[in-house]
């Protein structure tokens, strides 16, 4: 559980475990926009582990608390296997209360652009 004080900014890492030949990750997550304010997303070390530049794009709907994030390795490069941080999310605690940051539509693709099995998770946030 994450317990940030009201008004503070905090980070949440999106971690991939047991990946095999992962070349891209796309996910949709939701959060309570009454309690949290999305700030920014940056790429973690996983997809660029071999030095490749991996752009991260996102679209945030602040009214509904829906965030879409995608990162893709360059075409023609091998995928990455193992564990690591895919995205780092920054939020601001804007109201007291308990909420979740939920990955409800995870997706990953291999170096042949074929879908990989992925499952979501969630973090519990209690703003005090």
Residue 106 CA to residue 127 CA, distance in Å, equals: 26
* Dihedral sign, Cα of residue 70, residue 52, residue 22, residue 45: negative
pTM: 0.95
Class of CATH domain 9-127: mainly beta
What pLDDT digit, counting tens, does each position of 42-56 carry?
999 999 999 999 999
What residue spans define the domains of the chain? 9-127
Percent of the chain with pLDDT over 90: 99
Residue 25 CA to residue 113 CA, distance in Å, equals: 11
pLDDT range class, residue 91, cuts 50, 70, 90? very high
The strand pairing partners of 12, in sequence order, are: 89
State both tokens at 104: 């409800």
């Amino acid at each position: 559980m994450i317990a940030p004080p009201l008004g503070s900014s905090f980070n949440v890492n999106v971690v991939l475990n047991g990946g095999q030949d992962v070349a891209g990750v796309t996910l949709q997550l939701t959060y309570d926009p009454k309690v949290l304010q999305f700030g920014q997303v940056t790429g973690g070390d996983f997809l660029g582990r071999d030095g490749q530049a991996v752009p991260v794009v996102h679209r945030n709907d602040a009214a509904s608390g829906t965030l879409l994030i995608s990162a893709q390795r360059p075409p023609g490069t091998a995928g990455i296997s193992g564990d690591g941080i895919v995205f780092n999310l920054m939020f601001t605690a804007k109201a007291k209360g308990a909420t979740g940051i939920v990955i409800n539509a995870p997706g990953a693709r291999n170096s042949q652009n074929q879908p990989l099995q992925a499952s979501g998770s969630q973090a519990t946030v209690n703003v005090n």
